[in-house]
Amino acid sequence: MKIVRLYTGSDQKSHFEEIEMKSGGDAPMKTTDARKASSTVFRSAPAGLFLERHPAPRRQFLVTLSGSWEIEASNGAKRVFKTGDVMLADDTTGEGHTSRVLGNEPHVFMTVPLAD
């Protein structure tokens, strides 16, 4: 399973990369390795919301449940995340990223902060 990771590079800018989540198990269902999480939070961001550049508050998975949003890394790259997309927010230092809700619907998503 591939997901998008947003991370801080040595230039202190945030960057995107696709990473492969290690998985195993018997066909037809593959399972990723377990990761310890500290909590699960459901959030809803209103249509049109724009958040100025900020780093991620912690390492966390963000799973889009409905709606869509655009993340712009501080290196200028942009990605749109739609229903079912998963991002690992790992840019907890440096210049950070901006977030914008697209369309006329709220962006509903789940955050899963990773345990240290």
CA 59 to chain centre: 9
Retrieve residue 92's tokens.
């907890």
**Is residue 11 very low, low, confident or very high in pLDDT (cuts 50, 70, 90)?**
very high
Residue 23 has pLDDT above 90, yes or no: no
pLDDT in tens, 57-115: 999 999 999 999 999 999 999 999 999 999 999 999 999 999 999 999 999 999 999 98
Q: Which CATH superfamily is domain 2-21+37-113 in?
A: Jelly Rolls (2.60.120.10)
The reported pTM is: 0.90
Higher pLDDT, 33 or 91: 91
What DSSP letter does each residue of 69-83 carry, written as one string?
A: EEEEETTS-EEEE-T
Q: How many CB atoms lie within 10 A of CB 62?
A: 23
